[in-house]
Amino acid sequence: MKKLLLLIAFAAGLVSFDAKAQYVSLLTGGTVTNAGSTNLGYYIDCSRQDNVQVFLSFNNMTAGTASNAILRFIRAADASGTKDDTNWTGNITLACNGLSTVQVATNIAVPGVAFLKLTQIENTNTPAGHQLTNVSIGYVVKKFRP
């Protein structure tokens, strides 16, 4: 019986893996002008995970909630810039909250996707001076696949 338990413990050790999450910062302290957008071009490696958590934080320069911040993504086969998907886009849209900081962390399902490319952040607020400030973008990876 002791040999069987030892064999099971040994086998469990062979198939164990480290599944710690790691936060990767893409942008810290950015600004997006009113009715403007900022092209980004950040690639997120999704090849060893089924979900990626994206984090966005920003402030609106003025009171009001009439505008949105939009993150735009596309799929990509690699990070070279030559194999980006031109037929699919995914967006995350967040409403501004006056002068309060807006923060969101959301998961994006990426089964079978090698890379997500964060192409752009857009500010839909049109009046002058309505900038998005202190923009921070990052993602969390927790690699499950060997």
Domain contains 13: no
Instruction: Tell me, yes or no, whether 10 lies in a domain.
Output: no
Under 8 Å between Cβ of 114 and 122 = no
Tokens 């995914």 label which residue?
90
94 has a pLDDT exceeding 80: yes
Mean pLDDT of 120-136: 87
Q: Output the pTM of the full model.
A: 0.79
Domain presence at residue 9: no
Asked if residue 16 belongs to a domain, the reply is no
Going through the chain in order, the beta strands assigned E by DSSP cover: 22-32, 37-45, 51-60, 68-76, 90-95, 102-109, 115-123, 132-141
Question: In terms of residue numbers, what domain contains 97?
Answer: 21-141
CATH number at residue 42: 2.60.120.260
Q: Is there a contact between 71 and 139 (Cβ–Cβ < 8 Å)?
A: no
**pLDDT at position 14:** 47
User: At 21, is the pLDDT very low, low, confident or very high (cuts 50, 70, 90)?
Assistant: confident
Query: 110 and 50 in contact (C-beta within 8 Å)?
Result: yes
Q: Are 31 and 133 in contact (CB under 8 A)?
A: yes
Task: With H, G, I as helix, E, B as strand and everything else as coil, classify residue 5.
Answer: helix
Q: Is residue 11 part of a domain?
A: no
Q: What is the pLDDT averaged over residues 98-116?
A: 91
Q: Does residue 129 lie within any of the structural domains?
A: yes
